[in-house]
Amino acid sequence: MSDSSAGSARAHYTIACLDMAGTTVADDGVVIDAFEAAISGRGLSADGYERAMKDVHATMGQSKIEVFRRILGDEDTAIDANEAFENHYERAVRADQVAPLPGAVEAMAALRDAGLKVCLLTGFSPSTRDALLDALDWRPLIDLALSPADAGRGRPWPDLPLTALLRLGGGAVRELAAVGDTRSDIESGLRAGAGLVAGVLTGGTPREELAAAGATHVLDSIADLPPLVGA
């Protein structure tokens, strides 16, 4: 089921930008585990650690290195923590702790069958993103995958979906359909001017928060996307 703004389902879309963890990928809390492992032992007080983890939860979907820069304050420490995060997540990928969310593979196939190009977006580094793509064998299902390092800035900035539009030869920004499970995903899509900016409930963000962030649609899962874009 979905909530939607009137008429937007009749628009023409050429590119679908889909978030990874929480939207198309299930990782059973590995992202949070990786954050916890990365900032433990960094000299934070108990209160500082609690504030840091609140920040992590509030900014899910954003560039991971930017999150570490903000909560740790020192560039070298942030880089080291980010490396620890990526290593933790990549070990989980190799241990088969990630899987496609139900309907994700079918949704991507339906989008491409309908003529849309599919781009996966993530706040992970390119190496972690590529490890995920290889573990899931998703490269044949998509046209592009982007990390903040490929676009200049991560979410909530619009750089990722706009880079997808430029690289995939799309037309007007309103032909973009952007989908994610966090407020940052929604803000990024809106800033880019995407015609459809949908939030999905599979990442744990409440329906009310996604709607308050400005989502044009709130979907139970990515499986509900294809009918909205004519697929």
pLDDT band at 28 (very low <50, low <70, confident <90, very high): confident
Domain boundary among 60, 75, 94: 94
pLDDT in tens, 40-56: 888 889 999 999 999 99
56 and 104 fall within a common domain: no
Centre a 10 Å sphere on the Cβ of residue 70 and count the other Cβ atoms it contains: 14
- Of 42, 63, 94, which residue constitutes the final position of a domain? 94
pLDDT band at 62; cut points 50, 70, 90:
confident
Instruction: Specify the pLDDT at position 2.
Output: 52
The two most distant CA atoms of the chain are separated, in Å, by: 53
Q: Tell me the pLDDT tens digit for each residue of 119-144.
A: 999 999 999 999 999 999 999 999 99
Flag whether pLDDT at 213 surpasses 80.
yes
**C-alpha–C-alpha distance, residues 63 and 123, integer Å:** 4
Q: b/e map of 73-100 (b: 16 or more CB within 10 Å)? A: eeeebbeebbebbbebbbebbeeebbeb
My answer on whether 47 and 154 are in the same domain is no
Instruction: Note the pLDDT of residue 170.
Output: 74
Of 94, 113, 145, the last residue of a domain is: 94
Cα end-to-end distance, the chain, whole Å: 17
If asked whether residues 116 and 191 sit together in one domain, one would say: yes
Report the DSSP beta bridge partners of residue 99. Answer: 26
Residues 43 and 74 both lie in one domain = yes
> Does residue 9 register a pLDDT over 60?
no
What pTM value is reported for the model?
A: 0.89
pLDDT at 217 over 70: yes
Q: What is the CATH number of the domain that holds 161?
A: 3.40.50.1000
Q: Is residue 160 located within the same domain as residue 109?
A: yes
Three-class SS state of 11: coil
Calculate mean pLDDT across residues 82-94. Answer: 92
% of the chain at pLDDT higher than 70: 95
**Same domain as 152, residue 125:** yes
Considering the domain architecture, whether residues 110 and 200 belong to the same structural domain is answered as yes
Highest mean pLDDT among 48-52, 87-91, 178-182: 178-182
List own/partner pairs for 141-145 with CB under 8 A and 24 or more apart. Answer: 141/105, 141/108, 141/109, 141/112, 142/108, 142/118, 143/112, 143/117, 143/118, 143/119, 143/168, 144/117, 144/118, 144/119, 144/120, 144/168, 145/119, 145/120, 145/121
Segment 185-192 mean pLDDT = 97
145-177 residue pLDDT tens: 999 999 999 999 999 999 999 999 878 999 999
Q: How many CA atoms lie within 13 A of 74 on its CB side?
A: 8
Number of domains the chain contains: 2
Q: Does residue 187 register a pLDDT over 70? A: yes
Same domain for 47 and 9:
no
| 52 plus 145 within the same structural domain | no
Query: Is 109 in the same domain as 144?
Result: yes
Query: Domain residues for 198?
Result: 2-27+99-229
